[in-house]
């Protein structure tokens, strides 16, 4: 059986940014990191890639490597963005491909 290349989070992020830009979205890498010795002042659950459409809609895309799972905070945040009319995606690896799956479709896949 052929071993499938496992993409790194950085590789998935780069591919997702490229694909989202091809779709016409203005997106960028979001750094929402805790720093040792300082209080975390970011927003828990904010996606790895954020941006905006030409129509002014907010876009967020969470990057998940093989075996990674969405946290409760990520699910809550992406649900809020979706409920407010924003566009939400999960960039993830399936076999040899990197897919951009709409968040709600990704959740349905996890449930089934």
Sorted by where each begins, the domain ranges of the chain are: 9-32+40-111
Give the other-Cβ count within 10 Å of 45's Cβ: 20
pTM confidence score: 0.89
CATH code linked to domain 9-32+40-111: 3.40.1350.10
DSSP category for residue 42:
S
* Percent of the chain residues past pLDDT 70, beyond the cut: 95
- Nearest CA to 62 out of 88, 85, 82, 84 is that of 88
Q: Looking at the predicted structure, is the pLDDT value of residue 38 above 90?
A: no
Q: Looking at the predicted structure, is the pLDDT value of residue 1 above 70?
A: no
Q: What is the mean pLDDT of residues 5-12?
A: 95
Q: Looking at the predicted structure, is the pLDDT value of residue 3 above 90?
A: no
- Separation CA 107–CA 9 (nearest Å): 20
Residue 39's pLDDT is 77
- Nearest CA to 47 out of 30, 35, 33 is that of 30
């Amino acid at each position: 059986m052929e071993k499938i290349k496992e993409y790194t989070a950085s590789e998935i992020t780069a591919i997702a940014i490229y694909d989202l830009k091809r779709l016409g979205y203005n997106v960028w890498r979001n750094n929402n990191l805790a720093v040792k010795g300082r209080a975390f002042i970011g927003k828990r659950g904010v996606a790895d890639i954020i941006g905006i459409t030409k129509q002014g809609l907010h876009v967020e895309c969470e990057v998940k490597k093989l075996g990674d799972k969405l946290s409760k905070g990520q699910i809550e945040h992406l649900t809020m963005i979706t409920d407010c009319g924003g566009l939400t995606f999960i960039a993830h690896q399936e076999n040899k491909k990197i897919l951009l799956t709409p968040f709600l479709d990704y959740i349905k896949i996890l449930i089934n």
